[in-house]
Amino acid sequence: MASEEILRKTIHNADGKPFAKYRNIQGSFVTEGFELFIDEVQGDRMGHSRMRVRVPMKRAGFPEDTRSNASRRAALGDIIARRFWESARTHARSNIPKTDGGVVYMPRPGQEILDRGSVEVTEHYVEARFTADLPSKANKVDEESAIDLIFGRISLIVSESMLFASYKRQKLYNHLETAENADSIRSRLPELGLAAFVGIGSILPRRDDGLAPMTDAVPFDCDDSLKVTVEVPNGDPVTGMGIPIGFTTVSGPSGSGKSVLADSVFAGIYDHIPGDGRELVISDPDAVYVMTEAGRPYESVRLTGPASEMESVDEAVGCGSHLIIMDEEYSCPCVLRRSVISGDDDVVPVSETAGSLGRSGISVLMVTGDGDAVSRAGLALSMDGYRVGRLDVECREGSEFPIPQGRYPVAKNVSFEKGRKEVSTSAPEIRTVEIGEYRVTAPVAGFFDHAQTRTVADAIALARESMDGSKDLRTVCGDALAMLREKDASEGTGMAHAQARAVDMAAVLLRHPQMLFIRR
């Protein structure tokens, strides 16, 4: 690792020379405040250079209790990424005056507390991964602005985001403890007999941009008979509505909050930042939202109409989901209940098989006003004004849900090529993955942050060779995501990545019309 003096001298020697001379600074350097890794230098003034900053933990100063377990380490990395983004936006959002560069970029975190590839926290150091645009004048290296970028802008961002002393202690620990409490509840859901937990006082409605709770929203509440109190690692025990393992229906008048509750339970697969309103909405980590998907290709299974939506339920169970969420507003009616089926007795509605699923440990949360569906629920809830009560119904027996066969993906017919790239995958939209030249849309995937979609896109590229029919779909997806995490850690990549689920990667692959699946 070279010294700061060598870095400054290399920049000085390139001053006024063609932009390509910047390539001489690629490498690693020790400065007074941090270690700088310039992993990839942009080819011209329009590109972006890939960099990392590593601060030894002794200098960063984060106490051991901020990183004492996996939950706290992930939350610490998450809040550092947020502060890095905020500082970069303040100090390096635009070019250095009179130059063509100087912008520092890291993806903006959303409302979820995630294990992010943009920041790594270890016992020995804190590392941030980002891009920076090397500055130039008239397409030539400019020493003064390059020094300003590295030892001015980047150094300032590091001091504001990667040092414990730059944080308000209460705000930092609140972030860590919020995540740790949520993770603790989530890990205990099975022993509590619950599929989900909704904290009393939670603010469920979202602002239009989704980045904050709706102003003046009514806090969530429920009848005492539905309340469960849970011990948490930090602070007093918390109380909320427990949604038990099994078949639960939610009914109520229009605008009562039923669909918002379902959306919030789905979002509860991840932790949320303090102030989000859903910090204590906690769900089974593999929960899946099933809905009608107009135009979804089913070439590999040759299904249409309501049977295709039932196939989505089958897929969710087969991929390991233990909580299936459905809303009659977004589903084909005959998928939910038999009372509206017209001459299609081949389709057994979910309401009749949900009880069987519950006995297998797979829960169904269904938003519906249909009396037949409600009468088959193990727990029937009524909602009005974001307050939930219990309906007294006599649970009727239903049909058995057939255990789905395993799916073994075969990608030999899938084209990964695009332009000059033999393997090209990307994430053009938050719920769209492009494989080669084909765009796969998965509207029900648990992607709440664009970085999660990018993670799945890159994992699919890594999984290409293993999709030969020898491994089941969940194993393929889990292995590829683990491989990508290892690659990011060893190569210092992953700035654009964040924690993603195998079940969501599977959802993308299942929606590609050229993907084949062997049933065993």
Residue 299 has pLDDT above 70, yes or no: no
Give the CA angle between residues 122, 124, 126 to the nearest 5°: 55
For 433, the token pair is 């993955």
**Which pLDDT belongs to residue 304?**
43
The position carrying tokens 């001459």 is 343
Question: What's the pLDDT band for 345 if we cut at 50, 70, 90?
Answer: low
Measure CA 285 to chain center: 11
Q: Which of 58-67, 126-135, 246-255 has the lowest average pLDDT?
A: 246-255
Domain 184-391 has CATH 3.40.50: yes
Q: In angstroms, rounded to a whole number, what is the distance separating the alpha carbons of residues 79 and 271? A: 13
Pairing of the two strands 516-519 and 407-410: antiparallel
**Which pLDDT belongs to residue 301?**
47
Give the CA angle between residues 241, 242, 247 to the nearest 5°: 125
Q: Is 425 helix (H, G, I), strand (E, B) or coil?
A: strand
**Which pLDDT belongs to residue 302?**
44
Q: What DSSP string runs through 228-254? A: EEE--SSSS-EEEEEEESSEEEEE-ST
**pTM listed for this prediction:** 0.94
pLDDT tens per residue, range 402-460 = 778 889 999 999 999 999 999 999 999 999 999 999 999 999 899 999 999 999 999 99
Question: What's the pLDDT band for 329 if we cut at 50, 70, 90?
Answer: confident
Strand order across the 438-441 sheet: 425-429, 432-435, 438-441
Read off the pLDDT of each residue in 68-83 and give the average, rounded to a whole number: 98
**Cβ–Cβ under 8 Å, residues 358 and 245:** yes
Question: What's the pLDDT band for 307 if we cut at 50, 70, 90?
Answer: low
**Cβ–Cβ under 8 Å, residues 284 and 278:** no
Q: In angstroms, rounded to a whole number, what is the distance separating the alpha carbons of residues 363 and 324? A: 6
E-strand ranges in 311-445 read 323-327, 363-367, 379-384, 387-391, 407-410, 425-429, 432-435, 438-441
Question: What's the pLDDT band for 344 if we cut at 50, 70, 90?
Answer: low
For 101, the token pair is 């560069």
**Cβ–Cβ under 8 Å, residues 387 and 372:** no
Residue 485 has pLDDT above 90, yes or no: yes
Question: What's the pLDDT band for 305 if we cut at 50, 70, 90?
Answer: very low
pLDDT tens per residue, range 378-387 = 999 999 999 9
Question: What's the pLDDT band for 496 if we cut at 50, 70, 90?
Answer: very high
Q: In angstroms, rounded to a whole number, what is the distance separating the alpha carbons of residues 114 and 78? A: 6
Read off the pLDDT of each residue in 8-19 and give the average, rounded to a whole number: 97
Question: What's the pLDDT band for 303 if we cut at 50, 70, 90?
Answer: very low
More confident residue, 163 or 356: 163
**Cβ–Cβ under 8 Å, residues 500 and 459:** yes
**Which pLDDT belongs to residue 306?**
47
**Which pLDDT belongs to residue 95?**
97
Pairing of the two strands 516-519 and 227-230: unpaired
* Share above pLDDT 90 across residues of the chain, in percent, rounded to a whole number: 80
Q: What DSSP string runs through 66-130? A: GSSSHHHHHHHHHHHHHHHHHHHHHHSSSPPTTSS---EE-PPP-SEE--BTTEEE-SSEEEEEE
**Which pLDDT belongs to residue 100?**
94
Q: Where are the domains of the chain?
A: 2-167, 184-391, 407-519
Q: Cα dihedral sign for 72, 77, 78, 80?
A: positive
Mean pLDDT score of the chain, rounded to an integer? 92
